Amino acid sequence: MKVIQEPVPQADAQTLRVLDLSLDAFAGAVHAHPVLELTHIQQGAGLRFVGDSVEPFSAGDLVLIAPHVAHGWWTSGPQPGRAVAQVLQLHPSSALTALPEWRHGPGRLLDEPTSAWVLSGELAAHVVGALPGLLRASGLEQLGQALALLARIGAPSSAPDRRPVGLQAPRPAGTGSRAPRRLDALLTWVRDHLHEDLSVDAAAEHLHVTPAAFSRTFKRLVGCGFTRYVTDLRLAEAQLLLHRTDLPITRIAADCGFATMSNFNAQFLARVGQTPRAYRAAARVEPVRTR
């Protein structure tokens, strides 16, 4: 898994892009860019990465992501068909963000100390229902519809249907320094070695830096400590396996890198609010849910 600074084509000249994507799989790099992005997953299941958050996703996943936040979707395991998504990308130019209507609408939402918002309930139904019209529209009509949609998402009345995820701290803007490139290599290594005994010392040795320097840099770039990030990634993988397979829970715990069942049960209960067994029973009749 790579984290890259993604240039958005014609971002300065094109305020809005609305994309209808159909892919073999969601397997691209975890990336960051200077635009506000709304992504609706229509088909596909796997892991969603946003800032320091790792969660399982399935069809219906709907997330608004702030600018300069690393994010990506990875499909995992056999898929019933192609990976399909609708994506809205809005470039918050200085001319747009200076408008009072922006400052009191979407701008107020972006001032919140979080990286993204998972949308659900009536708000999600409204947004999903509006996306086909956005895809058909063009020019100022399309831009107007997009701004109205973002205003609805950011409205105080929509707060119960917005779940904040990701960094609970100021968002770092991307740079072209060597630090993000080192992070690219590190996150790829973490994903490839998830089932091994990962530690700060091992990660620091992989990057040829001291453990103290590694810990400082990782927390600054990702937004949380390395140990917590690895645990969250393992638990998200476990949620996905519990939801989509009939593998024994002891096998899932071992495959996801947990040395003992007691540790797995305790960590899972703390993160998800249910035991693995209860989560699996609920997931058989409900969509994947996380705290």
The number of angstroms, rounded, from the C-alpha of 222 to the middle of its chain's C-alpha atoms is 12
DSSP conformation class of 159: G
pLDDT reported for residue 65:
95
Length of the chain (residues)? 291
Domains of the chain, CATH where assigned: 3-165 (2.60.120.280), 178-283 (1.10.10.60)
pLDDT reported for residue 291:
38
pLDDT reported for residue 1:
45
pLDDT reported for residue 49:
86
Number of H helices, E strands in the chain: 12, 11
- Residue 11: pLDDT band (50, 70, 90) is very low
User: E strands of 91-197, at which residues?
Assistant: 116-119, 162-165
Please tell me the distance from the alpha carbon of residue 281 to that of residue 285, in angstroms, as a whole number.
8
Q: Which two tokens stand for residue 184?
A: 């690219």
Instruction: Indicate if the pLDDT at residue 281 is higher than 50.
Output: yes
pLDDT reported for residue 189:
76
pLDDT digits (tens, 9 = 90+) for 230-272: 998 899 889 989 988 899 999 999 988 898 999 999 999 998 9
Q: In sequence order, which residues have a C-beta less than 8 Å from that of residue 234 and are 6 or more positions away?
A: 194, 256, 257, 258
Q: Rounded mean pLDDT of the chain?
A: 84
Instruction: Indicate if the pLDDT at residue 283 is higher than 60.
Output: yes
Please tell me the distance from the alpha carbon of residue 110 to that of residue 156, in angstroms, as a whole number.
13
Please tell me the distance from the alpha carbon of residue 10 to that of residue 20, in angstroms, as a whole number.
18
- Residue 223: pLDDT band (50, 70, 90) is confident
pLDDT reported for residue 9:
52
Mean pLDDT computed over 193-215: 85
Mean pLDDT computed over 184-201: 76
Instruction: Indicate if the pLDDT at residue 159 is higher than 70.
Output: yes
Among 201, 273, 286, 202, CA closest to 235: 273
Q: What is the DSSP string of 24-46?
A: S-----EEE-SSEEEEEEEE--E
- Residue 7: pLDDT band (50, 70, 90) is low
pLDDT digits (tens, 9 = 90+) for 78-93: 677 899 999 999 999 9
Please tell me the distance from the alpha carbon of residue 244 to that of residue 132, in angstroms, as a whole number.
29
pLDDT digits (tens, 9 = 90+) for 12-70: 457 999 999 999 988 877 777 889 999 999 999 888 888 888 888 989 999 999 998 88
Q: Is the model more confident about 218 or about 24?
A: 24
Q: Is the model more confident about 191 or about 286?
A: 191
Q: What is the DSSP string of 45-62?
A: -EEEEETTEEEEE-TT-E
Instruction: Indicate if the pLDDT at residue 289 is higher than 50.
Output: no
Angle (nearest 5°) at CA 273 between 271 and 278: 120
Angle between helix axes 226-244 and 211-222 (nearest 10 degrees) is 60
Please tell me the distance from the alpha carbon of residue 232 to that of residue 229, in angstroms, as a whole number.
5
DSSP conformation class of 170: P
pLDDT reported for residue 14:
79
